[in-house]
Amino acid sequence: MRDVLHVGSGKVRELYALDDDRLLLVASDRISTYDVVLPTEIPDKGCVLTGLSAFWFARTRTLVPNHLLALRADGRSLECRRLEMLPVEVVVRGYLAGSGWTDYARTAEVCGHRLPAGLSESERLPEPIVTPATKAAEGHDLNVTEVEAAAMCGPGHYEAARDAALALYRFAAAHAEERGILLADTKFELGIDDEGVVTLADEAVTPDSSRFWPADDYAPGGPQPSFDKQYVRDWCLASGWDRTPPGPELPPEVVAGTRARYVEAFELLTGTPFDRYLADPEVVLCA
């Protein structure tokens, strides 16, 4: 790209500076599993994730202000306001999965939330909980208590971020459930704008920042299949891969099956045919 400064790389995304006030977030077609980026891309995955983020940003902007300025015609790039990012990620969990389940099984608590005894893996929580994490150690998030998060962000900023995240989760989970997808948990990144307002940033409620479960197959008492990545995970483990880099190349049928699941999640959640999105990405912005 012409005259844009590369300012950061995620595992599967790139960040560029357009000017002092604006950033460009570009989602690639790369896929990671068990924290390893695979050598094979999933065609259109970046467009699916960018379109979903843009869809949620458009629909929640009256609930919580966000950083979206424009969705580019390539369907995979978002122009954003540059914010002062908070030093914690704000995870909202409606179900007990991942590190939430691990911590609960060991201590009956998750990030300082005391939960009822006897819950099983993947069970729905009585109320969603907010479990902040720091982006401290290389790649790996470290769960912290809300008291610790408030100390790191300043209590006013943390409380506003927590309230925003809970409101966003409740909205997105209700929308998704009506369309056959359980939003088990999702991670938000928020920042402060130039007027001091806590603002939603980064990506929003995508399969890369969330656990999406097919509602039809929901069976608490063990881990749930992931809506998007389950084919990839199952195939990788069945291939004998030991979860250390490099990951295996994916065969064409696994690529096609995975792409189809991403596209299905997009279409269920947005109600828009994915081909229409590719032809004119801004269709997802009319709330």
Binding site for ligand Q0Z (CB under 6 A): 8-10, 13-15, 23, 25, 67, 80-83, 85, 191, 201-202
Q: How far is the CB of 18 from ligand Q0Z (least distance, A)?
A: 11
Given the complex with ligand Q0Z, which of 103 and 203 has the nearer CB atom?
203
Q: What are the φ and ψ backbone dihedral angles of 10, each rounded to 5 degrees?
A: -100, -175
- Closest to ligand Q0Z by CB, 55 or 95: 55
Name the residue whose CB lies closest to ligand Q0Z: 13
| Minimal distance, residue 84 CB to ligand Q0Z, in Å | 7
Which one, 103 or 202, has the nearer CB to ligand Q0Z?
A: 202
- In whole angstroms, the minimum distance from the beta carbon of 108 to ligand Q0Z comes to 33
Which one, 85 or 108, has the nearer CB to ligand Q0Z? 85
**Minimum CB distance to ligand Q0Z, residue 210 (Å):** 16
How far, in Å, CA of 7 to CA of 149, rounded? 26
Least Å distance between CB 25 and ligand Q0Z? 5
Shortest Cβ 258–ligand Q0Z spacing (Å): 21
Residue closer to ligand Q0Z, measured from CB, 63 or 147: 63
- ∠ CA 205-146-171, nearest 5°, is 30
Long-range (24+ apart) CB contacts under 8 A made by 222-229 are 222/121, 222/122, 223/97, 223/121, 223/122, 224/97, 224/122, 224/182, 224/184, 227/181, 227/261, 227/264, 227/265, 228/258, 228/261, 228/262, 228/265, 229/31, 229/33, 229/258
HSE of 276, CA atoms in CB hemisphere, 13 A:
10
Is the separation of the CB atoms in 181 and 227 below 8 Å? yes
Structure tokens at 158: 């943390």
Q: Is 33 in a helix, a strand, or coil?
A: strand
18 vs 215 by CB, closer to ligand Q0Z:
18
